Amino acid sequence: MTNHTNTTENTGSDGDELSNELRIVTICIVVLYPIFMAYCQFLLHSRRKDRFIKKRSMPMIQLASTVPGWLAWCNLIFSLQIGVYCWTFYCFALLIAPLSIGPQLVRAIRLWSMFKLSHMALSRDIISVKRVNSRQISDMKRAGTLDNSNLNIDTAVKSALEVNAVKSFAKIMHNITTWILLVIPTTSLVVLSMALSDGNQLMETNFVQCFPEPLIVRYFSPANGLLIAIMALAGTCILRSSTDELGIRHEITRNVLLWGCTYIAVLVMRTLDLGHLQPIMISLQQTALSYSMIILPCKHQNGFFFFLMPGASKILAEGSSDDSNRYSSSPSGGSNYSMSSVGSSKENSMYEQGLESVLSTEKGVKKFAEHCAREFSLENIRFWQAVNQYREMFNSETADDMAETAHHIFEEYVKPGSEMQVNLPMTMAKEIRKKIDQKEITIELFDDGQKEIFNLMSRDSYQRFLNARASRKTTRRGSSNGSGGRRKSISNALGIG
């Protein structure tokens, strides 16, 4: 009897010690997490104008990192026995999974539409004087004069139809994902868990009494989260043949795999009746997700962080200072000579001499435009080409035609909110608009804007262009050396040569 009592007391003492250790870890995470999130927000704010960050669906990143992270943080506080009802803990636990992994699925859908629209823009005419908008397309549909298979339809109409089809499909998929796959199932789980659970347990304020959790919280919620993760992973697998120089697809895949692995660990804890460890694990999971979605992209210039970001083209530490201050006004993407007769060494030298050299040939413009399409910055090179075409057309077209062309370039590339808007200072855009409205159409109308975009491409896209070429060259050299080494080993084995 005495031995049993001593054993019980020792067990209770060990349990108190373990509880105290967990309490210390919990308090440390509760204190450090707000500091970590403040650092993440500081990084996002400081890099908010960087294309590497702007193109990553920032609202979805904010949603996936901020809301579920703070919910997990609150549950961690609840675990410190502060007298919160168990139903609050259950509701927060049910919301964390869809809010953290659901945006990754939405981002995968948006990435697909970005790929499609970029490649459509790549094959579209640089300047199309006949501008077709959605209202004109609707009018033509009602009149029965619009048929996408009709070869007599203007190319601009067909292009507008294709763009609208992609945007409509992406919008439909976005709504289906948001409502049918995320909002409705999550709301249903919350309502059912409250309706079917034991009322006494829901109103319990002792955190230890919140376990074991109701069946819906314990099994259906994890199943819903894993299903969303699988769909998000499938979305990135569909895009595996597409290359984006910003590494967005790899980042989404990393987020999903990271979330899935940690969530499986949470499920194992639930199965082993270690539910009291769950708040700590979920908080660590959300911290890792924020690290993956915010810190790694914002710190992509650092070699160590870049190692963890496959698929992203690292920006070089120093740009070409000579080239970033130079400005080419003559080439339009069209040159009199072909690169077919130029050797690979001369071609590589041409690419490395600066952006002005790259844009002096048709092949250079094409290669650079393809790179810009992969990093979703095609509007910059298209605007640069459009201004060159505008300048070439100026002396051979009528004043009315040039006014219409200038208006189209402004609407397409300069107007705030346009699909292909370039990043010009607001004062410069207003000045261009003022001159167009006052019919002051001159050959130098867009020169300042073109110089601004040229310098931007030199500092940003061109550096990633060089790095991407170097990476591909290294990969090809490694594969060729590997195959050559294997052939040599086989020859040696056979006694040949």
Tell me: the pLDDT tens digits for 349-400? Answer: 678 888 999 999 888 999 999 999 988 889 999 999 999 999 999 988 888 8
User: Domain containing 203: what range?
Assistant: 16-105+174-233+246-307
Distance CA 276, CA 290 (A): 23
User: Helices (DSSP H) in 216-277: which residue ranges?
Assistant: 221-238, 248-271
- The single-letter code of the amino acid at 446 is F
Look up the CATH number of the domain holding residue 442.
1.10.167.10
Q: Is residue 116 part of a domain?
A: no
452-487 per-residue burial string, b: 16 or more CB within 10 A, e: under 16: bbbbbbbbbbbbbbbbbbbeeeeeeeeeeeeeeeee
Q: Is residue 258 part of a domain?
A: yes
Res. 217: pLDDT tops 70: yes
Q: In terms of domains, do 417 and 302 share one? A: no
Beta-bridge mates of residue 312 = 246
Q: In terms of domains, do 303 and 440 share one? A: no
Q: Is residue 87 part of a domain?
A: yes
> What confidence score (pLDDT) does residue 368 get?
93
HSE (side-chain half, CA atoms, 13 Å) at 150: 9
Per-residue confidence band for 323, with pLDDT thresholds at 50, 70 and 90? very low
In this structure, how many other beta carbons lie within 10 angstroms of the beta carbon of residue 92?
20
pLDDT tens sequence across 438-491: 999 999 999 999 999 999 999 988 988 888 888 777 766 665 565 555 444 434
Average pLDDT, the chain: 78
Res. 154: pLDDT tops 70: no
Q: Is residue 145 part of a domain?
A: no
Q: In terms of domains, do 211 and 302 share one? A: yes
- The single-letter code of the amino acid at 147 is D
HSE (side-chain half, CA atoms, 13 Å) at 385: 24
Q: In terms of domains, do 388 and 451 share one? A: yes
- Choose between 121 and 258: higher pLDDT: 258
Q: In terms of domains, do 364 and 446 share one? A: yes
- Coil/strand/helix, residue 496: coil
Residue that is written with structure tokens 């506080």 in the block: 77
Q: In terms of domains, do 296 and 440 share one? A: no
Q: In terms of domains, do 209 and 96 share one? A: yes
Torsion angle of the four alpha carbons 222, 228, 234, 237, in this order, in degrees rounded to the nearest 10 = -90
SS3 content of the chain, % helix, strand, coil (to 5): 75, 0, 25
Q: Is residue 2 part of a domain?
A: no
Ramachandran bin of 342, using left for φ above 0, alpha for ψ from -120 to 50, beta for the remaining angles? beta
Into how many domains does the chain fold?
Answer: 2
What pTM does this model have? Answer: 0.76
Q: In terms of domains, do 73 and 220 share one? A: yes
Q: What is the DSSP string of 358-416?
A: HTTSHHHHHHHHHHHHHTT-HHHHHHHHHHHHHHHHTTTS-HHHHHHHHHHHIIIIIST
Q: Is residue 74 part of a domain?
A: yes
Q: In terms of domains, do 206 and 278 share one? A: yes
Q: In terms of domains, do 295 and 376 share one? A: no
Q: What is the mean pLDDT of residues 407-422?
A: 89
Cβ–Cβ < 8 Å for 269, 277: yes
Q: Is residue 448 part of a domain?
A: yes
Q: In terms of domains, do 367 and 433 share one? A: yes
Q: Is residue 457 part of a domain?
A: yes
Q: In terms of domains, do 296 and 392 share one? A: no
